[in-house]
Structure 1
Amino acid sequence: MTQRIAEGSPSGAFDLAHLRAIHRHLFQDIYDWAGEIRTVEIAKDGHQFQLRRFIPVGMADVHQRLVATDFLRGLTRRNFAEAAGVIVGDLNYVHPFRDGNGRTQLQYLDALARQAGHPLELVRLSPTGWLAASRAAHKGDYRLMVEEIDRATGG
């Protein structure tokens, strides 16, 4: 997967098709179903993710919010972190794939940040901090996610 990350992620419109293309690119050597939407319900630590039949609706909501905000362009670094924290937190809730959602979300966020003028330094993200941020966002608390993104954009 390190090689696939180094190759760069597919470009796209930050919609479900784009997210699927990123997942397919990252996991094509690992899973036959890379890029395919999950067909089972999943939960982690007792918290249910988006029901599979609502994945397209959940992802459409994320995409519509990005369109409405010009894909987070023109924001200060801090405002970008705040808006992106909610987007990524909600994307995590949608959880469209059986596995590999977190790594796919990071590549999606990286592309979103670059086009918005706030490139990430992914090495600044703490794996334990990112996991804690994802768990908190799943419960509707985006503060840790915002702080992780803020740090990764140079804050």
Structure 2
Amino acid sequence: MSFDPFGDFETAGYLRNHQRLKDPVEVKESEHFVFELSIEEALSHLARKRRPDYKAILKVHKILFGGFYPWAGKDRNELVPHLAIFKGAYNDPHSTIFERPDFIKRSVDYALKLAADKKKFQERPGEVMGQLAFAHPFLDGNGRTLLLVFMELCYRARFAINWSRTNKDDYLRALSDEIRAPFQGHLDNYLKPFVTAITSRDEWPQMIGGIRGLDGLDKEDITYESLDNPEVQQLYKTYRAQLQDAPAVPGADD
């Protein structure tokens, strides 16, 4: 099944992009071109915010991808509130489940709350990134948007991740493990060796442009199912149940 949550791929192209492109290579190239042109503006917007919040993240996505997607800056809850999103088939035990649309903002807010405790954030950076990735606010462009947000959060906590030393496949594997089993150190253990001193924001645009696999949890093998599906509802109940031992995790008691 192709990723066509709007149900109009044949007439509107991939996710209703402005150019109505359908070819995956053309989509990727055009989307990335728009992204690179907008990095500095997006970073500047984040730097000006007294405290990054959910509204700021939506704005960053709009800045980065508004030139390609007419819906940029709108989250899944606004666009497709009836759909659950997965990486892999929802009934595959190795698939990755993303937050249900109506809980996206709550999950992002919780990640920002974790990052506000700067000492703990330095010790457990993977928990914050994992929570942001699990929220998966957008239909596309999550990895790049959330990386910019994460870098800004790290900067304010006086540390950075040396992304140039990370390995795309290893990182995505640790990130997927973190989403499947959060707050158990999967992504913390991977990122800790790459923690370094903060760098000037001026260096970020070039640095970001060279990072591979930013959207590894977007596009490839992304599927969707109706939230009315009883099996999907049970998946979310099971996922929430495993968080009972993690205090203050959003939705754990829902």
**Is the structural similarity TM-score above 0.5?**
yes
Query: For the Cα contact (< 8 Å) 1:132–1:144, is it kept in 2?
Result: no
Identity of aligned residues (%): 24
Is 2:102 the counterpart of 1:53? yes
Paired letter, 1:2? E
CA–CA separation in structure 2 for the residues paired with 1:94 and 1:65 = 14
Give deviations 1:35-62, integer Å, cap 9, x for gaps.
1111232111233211101112222222
SS at match of 2:161: coil
SS at match of 2:130: helix
Report the residue type matching 1:145 in the other structure: L
Letter in 2 for 1:30: F
Q: Which of 37, 58, 80 is the equivalent residue of 1:3? A: 37
> What is the correspondence of 1:1-155 to structure 2 with a 5 Å cutoff?
1-9=35-43, 10-11=45-46, 12=49, 13-38=51-76, 39=80, 40-45=83-88, 46-67=95-116, 69=117, 72=118, 75=119, 80-141=121-182, 143-154=185-196
Q: Which amino acid in structure 2 is aligned with residue 94 of structure 1?
A: A
**Alignment size in residue pairs:** 147
Partner amino acid, structure 2, of 1:41: A
Which ranges of structure 1 fall in alignment gaps of 5 or more residues?
none
Moved more, 9-18 or 87-96: 9-18
**Rg larger in 1 or in 2?**
2
- As a proportion of its length, which structure holds more helix? 1
**RMSD of aligned C-alpha atoms?**
2.3
* 4+ runs deviating over 4 angstroms: none
Mapped contact 1:133–1:143 kept (Cα < 8 A): no
Give the TM-score normalised by the residue count of structure 1: 0.80
CA contact (8 A) 1:123 1:152 kept: no
Deviation of 1:117 after TM superposition, in Å, equals 0.9
Task: Please give the per-residue CA displacement for 1:53-86, whole angstroms capped at 9, x wherever unaligned.
Answer: 111222222233334x1xx1xx3xxx54442210
Distance in structure 2 (CA, Å) of the matches to 1:154 and 1:80: 14
